[in-house]
Structure 1
Amino acid sequence: MSNADLFSSLLFKINQNQLALEAAIMKLTLWVEQRGSAEVAGNVRGALDTICRNEEFINPTLAVLMSPEK
């Protein structure tokens, strides 16, 4: 496997980890919110919004990196 292949695979796995963490944090946010800590939940949602905005760049970039070169 070439370094370029390893690099794109590594980025893909890091992105998968990020998405899994995002889902777990959202579950915790909902749990906190249900227990009356709306301010804390709002702060966490703000951080999660940053992750979502960055995904709009990360996902297509990963697709380009992982596509076979022509």
Structure 2
Amino acid sequence: MQNLDLLPSLLSKMNENQLALEASIMELSSWVEQQGGAEVAENVRGALDTLDRNEEFIKLTLAVLMTPD
């Protein structure tokens, strides 16, 4: 298998990791909010919005990369 053939799988795993990190950070921001850190939680959620905005593009691009020629 050529190294380039591994790229879609690598990117897919990286995307899975990113989604897992997003979920765990969201859990932490909820906990922070419950502890009285509403402003911090809001800032964290604002930063996570970038992940949400890019998710659809990443999924579509991975689908194209994983489609056999």
TM bucket by the smaller chain?
over 0.9
- Name the TM-score, length of structure 2 as normaliser: 0.94
Question: Partner residue of 1:17?
Answer: 17
Query: What percent of counterpart residues are identical?
Result: 71
- Name the TM-score, length of structure 1 as normaliser: 0.92
**2:63 is the counterpart of 1:63:** yes
Question: Partner residue of 1:32?
Answer: 32
Moved over 6 A (4+): none
**Equivalent pairs, count:** 69
In the alignment, structure 1 segments of 5+ residues that lack a partner are: none
RMSD: 0.8
In the alignment, structure 2 segments of 5+ residues that lack a partner are: none
Tell me: higher relative CO, structure 1 or 2? Use CA pairs within 8 A at least 6 residues apart: 1
Offset at residue 2 of structure 1 (A)? 2.5
